[in-house]
Structure 1
Amino acid sequence: MKILGCSPDGRHAVEVEAEAGVITQVSRLSTASGPRDLPVLAPGLVDAQVNGYAGHDVNGEDVEPGTIIAITHALARAGTTSWVPTIITGPRERIMHALDCVRRARDADPVVRAAIPCAHVEGPFISPDDGARGVHDPRHIRPIDADEVTAWKSAGPVGIVTVSGAGAEAPAHIRRIRQLGIAVSIGHTSAASAEISRAVAAGAHLATHLGNGIPTMVPRHPNPMWTLLADDRVRVGLIADGHHLPAETLIAMIRAKQPRGAYLVSDLTAVGGCSPGRYTTAVGGEVELSDNLRLSHLGSDMLAGAAATLLDGVRFLTRATPFTLTEALDLASRLPALATPGSRRALGRIRPGAPADVLLLDPDTVQVETVIVGGNHR
């Protein structure tokens, strides 16, 4: 297979050759019409935090392997060719069941196996405080427990666990979780800066949607955001839908973490990809989706999760910040792949040896024209 497009900066025509699902050669070409007449060639996007999409819910009571398969194919059509199913706070049995569904979906479909490097359990070891817990059910929030995480691993491919990092017992549990080969992320937290520093020293090296899942009022300094931004050992996920973080906050956070300490996530819920209107969701309850993809609790301005895709985040970043399309695509492909356990070699890149997951995008609108997954058109 040969794929022709232009580089994201519009300077070069690029031809990609792929065989057996892997990129074998990448060449710059001269064209009579010029590279800007070609679609933008980009790696498939890698979303490290997805709760659901297109009406399908990882956290729903009716989740089954078919749910995970359906989300995989729907996300690919929107430009996200790799993703991490994210299971939020709930009873142990529900978490175990969702993980088992991810495992069975990967076993049943090789495309799904390639698309899903691992699963993310976001909670239940988070702060019960208002603001910090977000929409997580306070009835099921509980202290960090490495034994429970060990049980999760027997059910499915858990690769990331989000914890608050608070409490004197947290570092010991974090070390045990890391020994299981599972990444620990700090999020939904009211922890003091010293507690977060101890959690990072114990092995927590990611931050879940930094700037969200935190009390609405925090001290000027110190606070968890400064601590996580200042520590070069920590990579931070950021929601770039234009609602969770203002543009200037995104700019400052990304610049603080350059060159590779930040990456974009969507935090999509099942309402993503649906028409504007009112919905009942497992994650946010009664919610309303507006025309601008803001998802709010019904009757209030409070956010109830996200409905914008990762490519929507790329577009927002290029429109509202100084970051270029090249930089925005990198934040949504190569950099999340580096942060995600289980990622395939060179995932999120256009280079020999990388998976042949490729997007062709309209150069003006940055909308998907063509999606290629594993060397096959989708």
Structure 2
Amino acid sequence: MTTADRDRIALAGARLVLPGGVVDGGRLVTEGSRIAAVTSAAGGGTEPGDLDLAGHTVVPGFVDLHVHGGGGASYASGVAEEAFRAARTHLDHGTTTTVASTVTGEIDNVARQAGVLSELVEDGVLAGIHFEGPFISRNRCGAHRPDLLRDPDPALVRKLVDAARGHARMVTLAPELPGGLDSVRMLADLGVIAAVGHTDSDYATTLDAVEAGATVATHLFNAMPGIAHRAPGPIVALLEDERVTVELINDGVHLHPSVLDLAYRTAGADRVALITDAMGAAGMGDGFYPLGPLQVEVSDGVARLVEGGAIAGSTLTLDVAFKRSVTVNGLTLGQAVESLSATPARLLGLADSIGSLETGKNADLVVLDSGSYDLVAVMRRGRWVLGGDRFTTVKPD
């Protein structure tokens, strides 16, 4: 047996969710870390040695643009072992590409955290860093310490971006604050995503931010003014512009299902990125957890600040978001894959290697039960990280 044979895995009989549509009984072959072949015709057949995935649905690995932690660990801890545990927790739930999010803290502390996270990007554990805070509105700060917030002075924003050593992917800021629009322009020039979020901005200022280069709405609807009939605010401005990708948290807590449906009808799946915004309690039980310098209590799966009771991120994982999107919101499998994989991959500039099941791309796969859409197995870069031993091998006739 050659090395190539040992590194080759063939999946047969599954429902494959491909860019061109859904195929029942398709066949997908991986070699090493890549997808080597995809049979796009129904009933692609099986060969001896294939893994029998009848009754299962295979989708691309999920891509999370916005996540603060999991498994009892936080990306804001500044400890590499904790960051690795958080990433592994979400990997076990199908997130094969993670952008780690920080929270508001002292600038020097956040810069130090960025240095630690950069090492994990360089090791291939993470795909980049998202700075959420401290450049946000005190009026919409949510689970961020108000006394640590700062205006988005371009020099301070640049300090954090530089601390990420080329791995800063996104910065969330409130564009109405002094320096906000200048920072948006600077980020766009640097190739870093400028995201509008935790903002008290009005409609016109939000439009100015988009014209300046902002391309993401950080957890749309949450931590920003609602829609009023004479003051449409940031939500309408962000939804109506085709240049903007909107993050949504589909955990049944942050958004009513009808609000999520409205966003899909307005923006379409190719402009929606489903995120977790998860904190350290994701993958864990109820209890008390840190979120940066703040304490959070999780009760019945809902995370709230101990002081004040504000919602403090989520305990969501993307496999649950996928299932809710299909079973509660009625998205098609293709729409769900678009929002959990393809759209965030395009936004990150990584669509040539992740985000869809296509020959030559990374072998990042999630296997779901075709009836319940519960997660069954996860593969990252051609290696099973969860559940690969559950499948039987096709025997010769």
Matches within 5 A, 1:197-216: 197-215=207-225
Give the CA deviation at 1:178: 1.5
Q: Which secondary structure does the structure 2 equivalent of 1:210 belong to?
A: coil
Give the CA deviation at 1:32: 8.6
Amino acid at match of 2:296: V
Q: Which secondary structure does the structure 2 equivalent of 1:59 belong to?
A: helix
* Offset from partner CA, 1:34-79 (integer Å, 9 cap, x none): x99431111110010010001010123xx32222222222211111
Alpha carbons of structure 1 residues 57 and 340: separation in structure 2 relative to 1, 3 Å: same
Worse-matched range after superposition: 197-206 or 293-302: 293-302
Candidates 25, 30, 35, aligned match of 1:23: 35
Contact 1:241 1:313 in 2 (8 A): yes
Give the CA deviation at 1:168: 6.1
Contact 2:86 2:280 in 1 (8 A): no
Alpha carbons of structure 1 residues 299 and 70: separation in structure 2 relative to 1, 3 Å: closer
Amino acid at match of 2:15: C
* Offset from partner CA, 1:128-156 (integer Å, 9 cap, x none): 11xx1111111111111222232223322
Aligned to 1:50: 67
* Offset from partner CA, 1:282-304 (integer Å, 9 cap, x none): 2484433344x322345986422
**Based on CA coordinates, which of the two structures has the bigger radius of gyration?**
2
Aligned to 2:94: 79
Give the CA deviation at 1:374: 0.5
Tell me if 1:364 matches 2:381. Answer: no
Query: How does the TM-score come out when normalised to structure 1?
Result: 0.90
What CA distance in whole angstroms lies between the structure 2 residues aligned with 1:236 and 1:171?
19
Alpha carbons of structure 1 residues 96 and 297: separation in structure 2 relative to 1, 3 Å: closer
Aligned to 1:13: 25
What CA distance in whole angstroms lies between the structure 2 residues aligned with 1:356 and 1:26?
11
Tell me if 1:317 matches 2:321. Answer: no
Tell me if 1:282 matches 2:291. Answer: yes
RMSD of aligned C-alpha atoms?
2.3
Aligned to 1:294: 302
Give the CA deviation at 1:231: 1.3
Tell me if 1:147 matches 2:160. Answer: no
What CA distance in whole angstroms lies between the structure 1 residues aligned with 2:10 and 2:195?
39
Give the CA deviation at 1:259: 4.9
Worse-matched range after superposition: 198-207 or 326-335: 326-335
Aligned to 1:119: 129
Alpha carbons of structure 1 residues 323 and 229: separation in structure 2 relative to 1, 3 Å: same
Q: How many residues align?
A: 364
Runs of 4+ in 1 over 6 A off after TM superposition: none
Give the CA deviation at 1:255: 1.5
Give the CA deviation at 1:105: 2.0
Aligned to 1:90: 105
Worse-matched range after superposition: 75-84 or 314-323: 314-323
Taking every aligned residue pair, what percent have the same amino acid on both sides?
A: 26
Contact 1:41 1:361 in 2 (8 A): yes
Contact 2:71 2:89 in 1 (8 A): yes
Amino acid at match of 2:89: A
Give the CA deviation at 1:18: 1.6
What CA distance in whole angstroms lies between the structure 1 residues aligned with 2:375 and 2:243?
34
Amino acid at match of 1:30: G
Tell me if 1:237 matches 2:247. Answer: yes
Amino acid at match of 1:337: A
Give the CA deviation at 1:237: 0.6
Aligned to 1:70: 85
Alpha carbons of structure 1 residues 284 and 7: separation in structure 2 relative to 1, 3 Å: farther
What CA distance in whole angstroms lies between the structure 2 residues aligned with 1:370 and 1:335?
22
Aligned to 1:180: 190
Query: How does the TM-score come out when normalised to structure 2?
Result: 0.85
Aligned to 1:222: 232
Contact 1:117 1:344 in 2 (8 A): no
What CA distance in whole angstroms lies between the structure 2 residues aligned with 1:171 and 1:10?
43
Contact 1:40 1:363 in 2 (8 A): yes
* Offset from partner CA, 1:265-312 (integer Å, 9 cap, x none): 01010011101x221322484433344x32234598642210011111
Question: Unaligned regions of 5+ residues in structure 2, if any?
Answer: 1-8, 47-51, 386-397
Q: Which secondary structure does the structure 2 equivalent of 1:241 belong to?
A: coil
Contact 2:61 2:97 in 1 (8 A): yes
Amino acid at match of 2:113: A
* Offset from partner CA, 1:70-96 (integer Å, 9 cap, x none): 222221111111111001211111111
What CA distance in whole angstroms lies between the structure 2 residues aligned with 1:29 and 1:254?
29
Contact 2:239 2:266 in 1 (8 A): yes
Give the CA deviation at 1:262: 1.2
What CA distance in whole angstroms lies between the structure 1 residues aligned with 2:42 and 2:240?
42
Q: Which secondary structure does the structure 1 equivalent of 2:322 belong to?
A: helix
Give the CA deviation at 1:31: 7.1
Q: Which secondary structure does the structure 2 equivalent of 1:333 belong to?
A: helix
Alpha carbons of structure 1 residues 96 and 299: separation in structure 2 relative to 1, 3 Å: closer
Q: Which secondary structure does the structure 1 equivalent of 2:220 belong to?
A: coil
Contact 1:10 1:40 in 2 (8 A): no
